[in-house]
Amino acid sequence: MPIIRYEGKDYDCPSDEILLDSLAQQGVKLPSSCKSGACQTCLTRAISGTPPAAAQKGLKSTLAAQGYFLACQCKPESDMEIGLATISQKFSTRLIDKMALNESVIRLRLSKPDNFDYHAGQFINLIRPSDELTRSYSLASLPSDDALELHIKRVPKGAMSGWLFDHVETGEELAFYGPSGDCFYLPEDPEQPLLLVGAGTGLAPLYGIIQDALQQEHRAPIHLFHGSLAKEGLYLIQTLRELDNQYAQFHYTPCVLHGDSPPGGMQGNIGDLPVQALGSLSGYRVFLCGDPAIVRTLRQNIFMAGASMQAIHSDPFEFAAS
């Protein structure tokens, strides 16, 4: 049976069990959230030994080469010494502002720790101090902003979102791991058209990415499609309209599945609307965030419309395992 060394102690971890679970059964609680390989909260590093290939699937080659792997996807095949990933550090923060963006979405502003560097559109793994409950939330702010901005949707019976809506108060001390994710803007090609699509709080990372691209003087068209079931579920409409008026290259399309869309918007399935509106997407750089089923549909449709898979960046908001 493989022996896993962690913080100077040895643990027997069977090859047919997930490392995260077998360590938890032995009293070692590594950070984790979605347990499906999406959020990367459980990113761990093999200091010695070789992690199984399946536990490195989907990681950037630069991370895999350094021995990083996902503990929630790891069935150990041989002895390893492991440590927490240094790229996902724990930071302390404080809630400085909480505001409703619509009936089911709030904006939180958190103090930005001095040594916290990130790209707009990446996400953090927010920790509830009382029990270490951890959930991923995307950063809608720019690194140059004084505060970190999150958009949180209320999920019925949601442990973290319910707590953030109903109990957290301004001034409260919180913590997070991060930053994580590679859904962000790089100024590689300012002439490449951008397409950003998200439903609900899928707007959070997209809002950060748009501000970043505009600040870095992206010149080609930047199309944002923000979807919701109905008009009431949209938010930041006025702010996005103002950006649309201010920047000739930015185009905002609010989309609703049911009922009338706001002026200038579209009605229909958000999975289909961007392709309907733009036609060929060959040459586009694409960012898709939010509901995992919508992200899957969009990936497929946008690929079929000509975008290359390598140019499609996505952050599906997978639910955390209970």
Ligand X SMILES: Cc1cc2nc3c(=O)[nH]c(=O)nc-3n(C[C@H](O)[C@H](O)[C@H](O)COP(=O)(O)OP(=O)(O)OC[C@H]3O[C@@H](n4cnc5c(N)ncnc54)[C@H](O)[C@@H]3O)c2cc1C
Residue ranges that bind ligand X, judged by CB under 6 A: 34, 38-39, 123, 135-138, 151-153, 155, 157-162, 181, 201, 204, 315, 317-320
Give the shortest CB-214-to-ligand X separation in angstroms: 20
Give the shortest CB-295-to-ligand X separation in angstroms: 11
Q: Hunting for tokens 């995992």 — which residue is that?
A: 292
**Closer CB to ligand X, 107 or 218, in the complex:** 107
Largest CA distance in the chain: 63
Tell me how crowded residue 130 is: count the other CB atoms within 10 A of its CB: 8
Q: Which residue is nearest to ligand X (CB)?
A: 158
**Closer CB to ligand X, 4 or 320, in the complex:** 320
| CA–CA gap between residue 308 and residue 322 (Å, rounded) | 35
Q: HEC profile for 38-71?
A: CCCCCEEEEEECCCCHHHHCCCCHHHHHCCEEEH
Cα 70-125-43 angle, rounded to 5 deg: 15
- Are 287 and 183 within 8 A, CB to CB? yes
**Closer CB to ligand X, 11 or 313, in the complex:** 313
Give the shortest CB-109-to-ligand X separation in angstroms: 14
**Closer CB to ligand X, 11 or 185, in the complex:** 185
Give the shortest CB-29-to-ligand X separation in angstroms: 17
**Closer CB to ligand X, 207 or 225, in the complex:** 207
| CA–CA gap between residue 267 and residue 257 (Å, rounded) | 6
Q: Hunting for tokens 């109990």 — which residue is that?
A: 167
Q: Which two tokens stand for residue 274?
A: 């961007």
**Closer CB to ligand X, 153 or 223, in the complex:** 153
Alpha-carbon separation of residue 111 from 9, 106, 276 (angstroms): 36, 16, 41
| CA–CA gap between residue 134 and residue 127 (Å, rounded) | 5
**Closer CB to ligand X, 4 or 295, in the complex:** 295
Give the shortest CB-320-to-ligand X separation in angstroms: 4
Contacts of 295 (CB under 8 A, 6+ apart): 202, 288, 289, 314, 315, 316
Give the shortest CB-151-to-ligand X separation in angstroms: 5
Give the shortest CB-150-to-ligand X separation in angstroms: 6
